[in-house]
């Protein structure tokens, strides 16, 4: 079974990491950043996690990405699959999606590492 590396990141902090699959969460999914109560929080906080997972389409995206990983892992030379999970600032949506993907993939027997590249960066003022 292929090892999986998931990197959450913010597009406003630099280019997407090199990955087999890059999830761009900026336009299709509600941004907790717009709520002043969640702006300084991260995807590791319960209220942010609840808001992101409550957004229509997120759970379907998670399921589809798990299927993509299975397809990549089935390849003849796939020993590692890299997933990039990106939102604007890399603190909210990308973190929740990365952590949830890791949870689902571990349940299916994958060895998973997660790196939150931009979670500690200052909140982007926009």
**Is the residue at 59 inside a domain?**
yes
**Is the residue at 61 inside a domain?**
yes
Full residue range of the structural domain in which residue 80 is found: 3-116
Tell me the pLDDT tens digit for each residue of 55-87: 999 999 999 999 999 999 988 877 899 999 999
Asked whether 52 and 32 are in contact (CB, 8 A), the reply is yes
Q: For residue 107, what pLDDT is reported?
A: 97
Q: For residue 20, what pLDDT is reported?
A: 95
Q: With 90 as the cut, is the pLDDT of residue 92 above it?
A: yes
Q: Please tell me whether the overall predicted TM-score, pTM, comes out greater than 0.85 for this model.
A: yes
Total structural domains within the chain: 1
Distance CA 25, CA 40 (A): 19
Q: For residue 52, what pLDDT is reported?
A: 97
State the DSSP H helix or E strand holding residue 66, giving kind and residue range, or none if neither.
helix 58-73
Q: For residue 62, what pLDDT is reported?
A: 98
**Is the residue at 122 inside a domain?**
no
**Is the residue at 125 inside a domain?**
no
Tell me the pLDDT tens digit for each residue of 98-115: 999 999 999 999 999 999
**Is the residue at 121 inside a domain?**
no
Cα four-point dihedral sign 93, 55, 32, 124: positive
Q: With 80 as the cut, is the pLDDT of residue 126 above it?
A: no
Tell me the pLDDT tens digit for each residue of 6-57: 999 999 999 999 999 999 999 989 899 999 999 999 999 999 999 999 999 9
**Is the residue at 95 inside a domain?**
yes
Distance CA 100, CA 57 (A): 14
- The count of other CB atoms within 10 Å of the CB of residue 57 is 11
Asked whether 117 and 8 are in contact (CB, 8 A), the reply is yes
**Is the residue at 22 inside a domain?**
yes
Q: For residue 47, what pLDDT is reported?
A: 97
Q: With 90 as the cut, is the pLDDT of residue 1 above it?
A: no
**Is the residue at 25 inside a domain?**
yes
Query: Which positions ≥6 away from 23 have C-beta within 8 Å?
Result: 61, 65, 83, 84, 85, 86, 94, 97
């Amino acid at each position: 079974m292929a090892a999986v590396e998931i990197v959450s990141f913010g597009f406003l902090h630099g280019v997407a990491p090199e990955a087999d699959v890059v999830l761009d969460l900026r336009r299709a999914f509600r941004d907790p950043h717009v709520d002043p109560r969640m702006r300084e929080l991260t995807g590791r906080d319960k209220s942010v996690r609840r808001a992101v997972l409550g957004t229509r389409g997120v759970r379907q995206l998670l399921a589809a990405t798990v299927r993509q990983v299975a397809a990549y892992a089935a390849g003849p030379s796939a020993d590692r699959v890299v997933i990039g999970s990106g939102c604007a600032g890399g603190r909210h949506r990308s973190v929740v999606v990365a952590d949830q993907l890791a949870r689902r993939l571990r349940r299916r027997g994958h060895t998973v590492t997660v790196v939150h590249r931009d979670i500690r960066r200052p909140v982007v003022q926009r």
